[in-house]
Amino acid sequence: MSSETEIQPVIGVIGGSGLYDIDGLENKEWRRVETPWGETSDELLFGTFEGIKCVFLPRHGRGHPIPPSRLNFRANIDALKRSGVTDILSLSAVGSLKEELPPGRFVLVDQFIDRSFAREKSFFETGCVAHVGMADPVSARLLDVLEAESRKLDIPVTRGGTYIVMEGPQFSTRAESELYRSWGCSVVGMTNMPEAKLAREAEMTYATVAMVTDYDCWHTEHDSVTVEGVVKVMKGNADNARRLVKAVIPVLGQKRPLDLSAERALDFAIITAPEKRDPALVAKLDAVAGRVLNKA
């Protein structure tokens, strides 16, 4: 298949804190999707928007029952892949690590630092080893559209930045917050890794809209982050996120060429010799890696 091959995108939206539904979808249906990795956070919401297929998943489940360390990221990403999703828009509440990124701003991050440690981070295990590239974890094409539509809607937006992923669920200590700032990070959150790594392994394009809710705890003129403070800002952010999602779907849903860095990420990534592969694991990888593993 050449890079000129056109595909019909299916848009997946992962809703973070405060975003447990999306409006404007037609033919809406919540459906459970079975995966070999266990239970997803919730049922997935299938629908169309201006004729474009969309799939929504509330990351923490409706009503927010699941904390960051207990999210089954593998099941969530596998279920989106299995449902035909090609492009993932991840919507996330984050704390700001820079003065110029106040609450209410949307940061279109282009890098991540993964400091999470209590999570399953790969679909590949003993019996089928793969190493995908993560140098550019975010799709510039998705960012272009998110940036252009945010500006049209007058949503305060910053293109570029690093999202540092902490394990949580407690917020950072002041020393941690200062450490992340000294590393040049823009925002801090608890969920985008391993989500972005798994999206790459599953050959889906990925971009995050990091919606600032607070200044974490480093800022001397603002109170340290609390859930109460986050929730107050989240409402306005969620309204803007809904407007933005509605604006980007018709643009992203148009036929487009393959995005090779993501959609062909597994072409040269699997190192385990075919005769050494574990058939049970290969079977589990059907949705994620069937394209390369099941080649004749």
Ligand X SMILES: CSC[C@H]1O[C@H](OP(=O)(O)O)[C@H](O)[C@@H]1O
Residues tagged in the binding site annotation: 17, 59-60, 92-93, 190-191, 214-216
Number of helical (H) and strand (E) elements in the chain, helices listed first:
8, 13
Q: Provide the minimum distance between the beta carbon of 103 and ligand X in the complex, in angstroms, as a whole number.
A: 12
What character string, x for contact with ligand ADE (CB under 6 A) and - otherwise, covers 198-217? Answer: ---------------xx-x-
Distance between CA atoms of residues 58 and 41, nearest Å: 7
30 backbone dihedrals φ, ψ, rounded to 5° = -85, 125
Residue from 105, 88, 206, 82 nearest 154 by CA: 105
- Between 189 and 253, whose beta carbon lies closer to ligand X? 189
- Between 171 and 206, whose beta carbon lies closer to ligand ADE? 171
Distance between CA atoms of residues 268 and 132, nearest Å: 8
What character string, x for contact with ligand X (CB under 6 A) and - otherwise, covers 68-107? Answer: x-----------------------xx--------------
Catalytic residue among 42, 87, 110, 214: 214
The interface with ligand X within residues 17-36 (CB under 6 A) comprises 17
15, 89 Cβ separation under 8 angstroms: no
State yes or no: residue 225 binds ligand ADE (CB under 6 A).
yes
Q: Provide the minimum distance between the beta carbon of 217 and ligand ADE in the complex, in angstroms, as a whole number.
A: 7
Strand partners, 56: 13, 45
- Would you call 42 a catalytic residue per the annotation? no
Q: From ligand ADE, ligand X, none, which one binds at residue 271 (CB under 5 to 8 Å depending on kind)? A: none
Q: From ligand X, ligand ADE, none, which one binds at residue 156 (CB under 5 to 8 Å depending on kind)? A: none
The interface with ligand X within residues 148-207 (CB under 6 A) comprises 168, 189-191
Q: Tokens 């996330």 correspond to what residue?
A: 92
- Among the listed residues 93, 138, 269, 293, the single contact to ligand ADE using CB under 6 A: 93
Residue from 255, 261, 204 nearest 7 by CA: 255
- Between 18 and 253, whose beta carbon lies closer to ligand X? 18
Distance between CA atoms of residues 273 and 143, nearest Å: 37
State yes or no: residue 227 binds ligand X (CB under 6 A).
yes
Catalytic residue among 136, 216, 223, 267: 216
Return contacts of 215-223, CB within 8 angstroms, 24+ apart. Answer: 215/95, 215/96, 215/102, 215/103, 216/95, 216/96, 216/97, 216/171, 216/172, 216/177, 216/188, 217/171, 217/172, 217/173, 217/174, 217/177, 218/97, 218/174, 218/177, 218/178, 218/181, 219/99
Q: Provide the minimum distance between the beta carbon of 92 and ligand ADE in the complex, in angstroms, as a whole number.
A: 7
State yes or no: residue 171 binds ligand ADE (CB under 6 A).
yes
- Would you call 136 a catalytic residue per the annotation? no
Q: Provide the minimum distance between the beta carbon of 189 and ligand X in the complex, in angstroms, as a whole number.
A: 4
Distance between CA atoms of residues 138 and 150, nearest Å: 17
Active site residues: 214, 216
What is the binding site for ligand X (CB under 6 A)?
Answer: 16-17, 59-60, 68, 92-93, 168, 189-191, 227, 230
